Amino acid sequence: MRLPRRRVGLIALVALTVLALDLVTKVLAVEMLQGREPVRVLGGAVYLQLLRNPGAAFSMGTGLTWLLALVAIAVVVAICWIARKLRSRGWALGLGLILAGALGNLADRIFRAPGVLRGHVVDFVSVFAPNGQVWPVFNVADSAIVVGGVLIVLLTLLGREFDGTTAKGRAAKTASEPESAPQEDA
């Protein structure tokens, strides 16, 4: 049986593309929204507003910025480790999105004020109302993490494995293999 090619290149392409988009939009948000009132877009469905978030989603963990940075580093390392065994396009897309999001917000935590591993993440999209009244203000990196996470959950529910196999295919292969004789304890 010929295995599908590894998908490291797809992860890298997705991650680099989305990371570049995240970084460019954050630079533009800081440049164009600093000191301005929220900008109403699409009839109020979206508001562009610059906020600097020291915490995680919903501004939770605002005193744990350094820990959030370390978690992001762990996520990046885990995805790089998994990438070697990855053979699924869907998983590559999902992990590439999560990698981009983790790197985008990690860059803020490392390079933005107030300092290394304590930097505040630039958020600038608020939906349905300004100031995150309906939903927390977010950025491209946050969106990538959510979309990537949803995709991976969906693939898991559908039985698609990161190595390119399906849960059904793996069960059939295991059932067709001869049983080995039980080993006695030495």
Where do the domains of the chain lie? 8-162
163 tagged catalytic: no
Q: Cα(30)–Cα(42) distance, rounded to whole angstroms?
A: 21
Sign of CA dihedral 82, 83, 85, 86: positive
By mean pLDDT, which of 85-94, 137-146, 154-163, 167-176 is the weakest? 167-176
Confidence (pTM)? 0.85
Given the residues 22, 108, 123, 163, select the one marked as catalytic: 123
Catalytic annotation present for 185: no
Q: How far apart are CA 131 and CA 118, in angstroms?
A: 22
Residue 30 to residue 185: CA distance in whole angstroms: 66
Q: Which entry of 22, 108, 142, 185 is annotated as an active-site residue?
A: 142
pLDDT at residue 3 is higher than 60: no
What is the CA angle 130-65-141, rounded to 5? Answer: 55
